[in-house]
Amino acid sequence: MPGYDPSRLLSVSRHFHIYGELLHAEPCKVGHINETYTATYDQGGVPVRYIHQRINHEVFKDPGGLMDNLQRVTAHLRSKMAERGVRDMTRRALTLIPAQDGRSYYRSPDGEYWRTFVFIERVRTFESVESAEQAYEAGKAFGEFQHLLVDLPGGRLHDTIPHFHNTRKRFESLQKAVREDRVNRASAAKVEVEWVLAHENLCDTILRAMTSKRIPERITHNDTKFNNVMLDVATGKAMCVVDLDTVMPGCALYDFGDMVRTTTSPTLEDELDLSKVQMRMPMFKALCRGYLEAATFLNKHERALIAFAGKLITFTIGLRFLTDFLNGDTYFRVHRPNHNLDRARTQFRLVESIERQEDAMQKFADGL
């Protein structure tokens, strides 16, 4: 992230429909991709906070399409919640602040894309799950998110990152990275590359089911890390699903699989002590129960691959981390040497733990 430049942020802020004086702002160290700031304004003597965020248009090649998706999705979520009589709406769904020209974003003269959200107060996020109750809340929140978007009107959403969870293409990208070895790192990842090649059979199970239409395309979040659910600080209940840049057409199972990856292990995704990495069945049961209570739209073919989805997406994310390591850390932010390699190792260890428990996981899901 570039150094914080108050004059730059002040200039950006003036292009949004925000009343009051900008008092101060500070960078937020959240996420791998975008540049994010919390900004506090004086509005009639009351401090009010907003989020200003610069979209990384190197990662998201079509920021306009991304923002079209985000605007449609957030408006529909609020509409559905209003139908249900949900209160506290600006804490339950992201609220975009329009730019002065009426668009959902501001494009600066130098080509930067900025957007602004209402800051959601009295919530917090966690990097790793701390209780079965939290896992249940996460599962229910993402299941409800998918459910509310089943009837989104209008045309198909934009693919903000094409083939995002296509494991076969991710596998092929890894093979290419190994062949090219641009930054001479293949030897350092030899063990991990061999492990991946031995698990190639995971790649196509869900892709084939989607091609045959047994599993339908749905509107999905595609980045269902546990820290993308905001929990109320007082009640611990899920309030809002955030980080909607990758909301697009996809597979509901991919969302559930990433929940398994990020909520069932007691460690962060870059844990160095691999002996701590494990899929904990009590967390899976709570997560699965919450998700399936909300995701009542799933068909029998989707439900039959619930446990497999956790294994597949953990494998896929590991592929992405390993590929980025081999390519010189060009996608994910890194904070130490070999950071992406460490992340990949953690994912692969979790895959092994899921494999050992997969039958029991699916049996539990089948019984719900």
Instruction: Provide the pLDDT for residue 33.
Output: 76
The whole-model pTM stands at 0.92
Residue 4 pLDDT grade (very low, low, confident, very high; cuts 50, 70, 90) = low
Q: Report d(CA 306, CA 252) in Å as an integer.
A: 10
Q: Is 361 helix (H, G, I), strand (E, B) or coil?
A: helix
Query: Residue 3: is its pLDDT beyond 60?
Result: no
Task: Give the model confidence (pLDDT) of 240-295 as tens digits.
Answer: 999 999 999 999 999 999 999 999 999 989 999 999 999 999 999 999 999 999 99
Given this model, what pLDDT does residue 1 score?
44
pLDDT at residue 144 greater than cutoff 60: yes
Q: Which range, of 30-34, 35-39, 128-132, 181-185, averages the lowest pLDDT?
A: 30-34
Q: What is the pLDDT of residue 182?
A: 96
Which residue is associated with the tokens 């905001």?
Answer: 230
pLDDT band for position 89 (50/70/90)? very high
- Give the rounded percent of residues in the chain with a pLDDT score beyond 70: 98
Where do the CATH 3.90.1200.10 domains begin and end in the chain?
132-366
Encoded amino acid at 235, one letter: T
Distance from the Cα of residue 268 to its chain's centroid:
15
**How far apart, in whole angstroms, are the C-alpha atoms of residue 226 and residue 279?**
15
DSSP 143-205: HHHHHHTTT--SSPPP-SSTTTT-HHHHHHHHHHHHHH-TTS-GGGGHHHHHHHHHTGGGTTH
Report, as an integer, the average pLDDT of 108-113: 94
pLDDT band at 2 (very low <50, low <70, confident <90, very high): low
Question: What is the per-residue pLDDT across 38-58, written as a single tens digit (0 to 9) for each?
Answer: 999 999 999 999 999 999 988
What is residue 127's predicted lDDT score, i.e. its pLDDT? 85
For the domain with range 132-366, which CATH number is right: 3.40.50.150, 3.40.50.300, 3.90.1150.10, 3.90.1200.10? 3.90.1200.10
Take residue 12 and report the two structure tokens written for it.
Answer: 């950006």
For the segment 206-216, the average pLDDT, to the nearest whole number, is: 97
- In the chain, CATH 3.30.200.20 covers 6-120
Per-residue confidence (pLDDT) for residue 333, from 0 to 100:
84
Q: Which CATH class for the 6-120 domain? A: alpha beta
Q: How many CA atoms lie within 13 A of 224 on its CB side?
A: 36
Give the pLDDT confidence of 76-85 residue by residue, as tens digits: 999 999 999 9
Find, among 338, 339, 349, the residue nearest to 188 by Cα. Answer: 338
> What is the per-residue pLDDT across 303-321, written as a single tens digit (0 to 9) for each?
999 999 999 999 999 999 9
CB of 224 within 8 A of CB of 262? yes
Digit-coded pLDDT (tens) for 319-343 = 999 999 999 999 888 999 999 999 9
Three-class HEC string of 204-264: CHHHHHHHCCCCCCEEECCCCCHHHEEEECCCCCEEEECCCCCCEEECHHHHHHHHHHHHC
